[in-house]
Structure 1
Amino acid sequence: MESIPNKEYSYAGTKSPLFTVFSSEPLLSTKDKLLTLETLQKSLDLKEMMENFASLVASFIRPFNIRFQSAFGFFSLSKSQQSNFTRNFNLDSAGLSPRLGTMTYQSATPFTTTEDKLLSELHQLLQPSLKHALKFSELNSMVYKDYLTNIGNRAYYDETIFHAIEQSNRTNLGLSLMVLDINKFKPINDTYGHSKGDQVLNAFAQVLTKSIRTSDFVFRLGGDEFVIILQPSTPCSIAKVQQRIKQEIEKNSLLKELNFSASFGFSHWEIGTSAAQLFDQADQHLYQNKALARAHR
């Protein structure tokens, strides 16, 4: 037996005495554990698994605002606007593997010692499935990353723009596409070598990543062609991103040294516009801008 000081313990509507006495026996029954394992093993998709886990927490304990963060995945679910109390759990995998991540619960009322113990038991059941889901996320991220710049690749762009258009159809939040390419990139390769060219591509990818919001996405489609998806987007969103990109280029010593510049084209999604049409509109705008720039030299 273990005695735990707990002056404000309340569970299932019953207040505890000054000390709550806990047995070393688990609180979850064998049936509960089997149900939990069956539910968590339904999918390797991290989001779906964590949604299932949040439902289990709500049924066994009560609903919480839940956030999970790791190197290969992030999940957040809000059940209440009030979050006066926070409880963090570090989820460790067995053996010498690194920590799986951090689980954070938020609540309008204090966490009880019984709830802490139940959460710990649920985490023990979650960890094996979570480890596989995170490995699956890691492998997926490798498939969707550009090998050189570590940003999204063409496959990831194709999938993301499809979902972005679907979301705009439902929410009408606004969607814009920017297409960018590097001016006089071939002379950089010819003059300084392909190694320097790779450095320029990496530097420009970093510039773009620093210039967008967390809701936006940046991709390298190949060569020196890049794309940014802005969502949500307003008519002034493009101008703001362009200004940030120019500022970040000025801050980058490598790009400034090479007198680097890039050309932009953009399009705004409208109902009925396909992904291919949206890209073609932005691409045509890009070449119009490049032609105007050449005419003014």
Structure 2
Amino acid sequence: MGLSNKEVIIKTLTQAETGNYPLGNGLFTVFSNNPALTVENKLLCLELLQTSLDLKEMMTTFASLVARFIRPFNIRFQSAHGFFSLNNENKFHCSDSFNLSISSTSARIGSITYQSTTPLSAQENKLLTELHQLLVPSLRHALKFSELNSMVFKDHLTNIGNRAYYDESLERAILQSSRSHQGLSLIVLDINDFKIINDTFGHLKGDQVLQHFSGALIKSIRTSDMVFRLGGDEFAVILQPSDQKSVHKVIARLHQEISNNSFFTELNFSSSIGFSHWLMGLSANELFSIADQNLYINKASQKTSNQ
């Protein structure tokens, strides 16, 4: 998340360090201790935060609640099993961070950072603490769900998303873009002459090629983007939010990663790439079909230039 050149003010707190607002061992301690939010507002928050176990949807809902009861922020959540980032257009130079946990004695489940033009006031700090207390129980379940999903939807050779995860993620990305009007792009890739690599160097070498290529893809994207192995030597990248520049930046970074890797240069490695941009009304299959057609155009042009 970009910051201006002004001095950055950073404050990190644990839930136990927020003074007179302890979390305690039960969720409903949040309804006592002279709360800043009304009981009705807290029940509303709980209801909204429990509508989905998807981390991105839950944190988007939470960000809207923060904006409603306090003010809009740039928000970033990070944990071992999930990441969320919401950036407004403004470049903020004040940053307040909180470590989230079920209680003062339990392990941290993640950290959340708020960026804004001014530091948090004491009343805003109290409001955020109460909102965190409402968020944490649902957030813990969402992170566990995310952890289990990563095991089911992971390609075990390359450690990236598999075809099932791709299908689910693309449908979800289209739904989100239709609601929020965020740009969405799909990149599809395959490895040129992969069969020749397998036949010449053996399947173990072929597996290493797939692993190195996956690593290059991961290094070429942003944290908000997703990489998948569709099967064989076919890969896909979902970019969201996205525009023409986003796609070209990823492709340029990928070419740079490949050219800087001696493993690839020894094999005279190359890949073919196609991409498409989602428009209202396009299905997941149609979006893939357009990208796939562009991939084969790219592959044909490479063969022509190499003759």
Please report the TM-score for the alignment, with normalisation by the length of structure 2.
Answer: 0.68
Matches for 1:101-120 after TM superposition, within 5 Å: 101-113=110-122, 115-117=124-126, 119-120=128-129
Structure 1 position 221, deviation (Å):
0.5
Q: CA deviation at 1:44?
A: 3.0
User: What are the Cα deviations for residues 238-260 of structure 1, in whole angstroms up to 9, with x where unaligned?
Assistant: 55544432221111121122221
| 2:240 is aligned with 1:233 | no
Matching residue of 1:8: none
Provide the alpha-carbon RMSD of the alignment: 4.1
Deviations 1:1-24 (A, max 9, x none): xxxxxxxxxxxxxxxxxxxx9799
Q: What CA distance in whole angstroms lies between the structure 2 residues aligned with 1:124 and 1:171?
A: 28
Aligned length: 275
**2:274 pairs with one of 265, 271, 274:** 265
| Distance apart, 1:70 and its partner CA | 1.6
C-alpha separation between the residues in 2 aligned to 1:121 and 1:140? 29
Tell whether the 8 Å contact from 1:92 to 1:100 is kept in structure 2 after alignment. Answer: yes
Q: Which moved more, 1:122-131 or 1:195-204?
A: 122-131
Counting aligned pairs with the same residue, the percent is 59
Instruction: Give 1:176 shift.
Output: 4.5
Question: CA offsets per residue over residues 98-132 of structure 1, 9 Å max, x none?
Answer: 42111223454543445545544553454333222
1:140-195 alpha-carbon deviations (Å, 9 max, x no partner) = 23333322222232223223333454566677776554332112222333343333
Q: What secondary structure sits across from 1:100 in the alignment?
A: strand
Structure 1 residues 98 and 205: alpha-carbon distance in aligned structure 2, compared to 1, 3 A threshold: farther
1:219 equivalent in alignment to 2:212? no
In structure 2, distance between residues paired with 1:151 and 1:39: 31
In structure 2, relative to structure 1, the CA distance for the partners of 1:271 and 1:89 (3 Å cut) is: closer
**How far apart are the structure 2 equivalents of 1:23 and 1:120?**
7
254-263 or 69-78, larger mean C-alpha shift: 69-78
Name the CA distance, whole Å, in 2 between partners of 1:277 and 1:39: 33
State yes or no: 1:88 paired with 2:97: yes
What's the CA shift for 1:203? 0.7
The residue identity in structure 1 corresponding to 2:198 is N
Q: What SS class does the counterpart of residue 108 from structure 2 fall into?
A: coil
Moved more, 152-161 or 94-103: 94-103
Letter in 2 for 1:222: G
The one-letter code matched in structure 2 to 1:264 is I
RCO (CA 8 Å, sep 6+): is it higher in 1 or 2? 2
Matched, 1:100 2:109: yes
Q: Does residue 139 of structure 1 match 2:153?
A: no
Gaps of 5+ in 2: 1-18, 23-31
Q: Are the structure 2 counterparts of residues 259 and 159 from structure 1 closer, same or farther at C-alpha, using a change threshold of 3 Å? A: same
For the 8 Å contact 2:98–2:112, the answer to whether it is kept is yes
Q: Measured at CA, do residues 198 and 95 of structure 1 come closer, stay the same or move farther in structure 2, by a change above 3 Å?
A: farther
The question of whether the paired residues in 2 share the 8 Å contact of 1:44 and 1:133 is answered with yes
For the pair shown, which has the larger CA radius of gyration, 1 or 2? 1
**Inter-CA distance 168–67: structure 2 relative to 1 (3 Å threshold):** closer
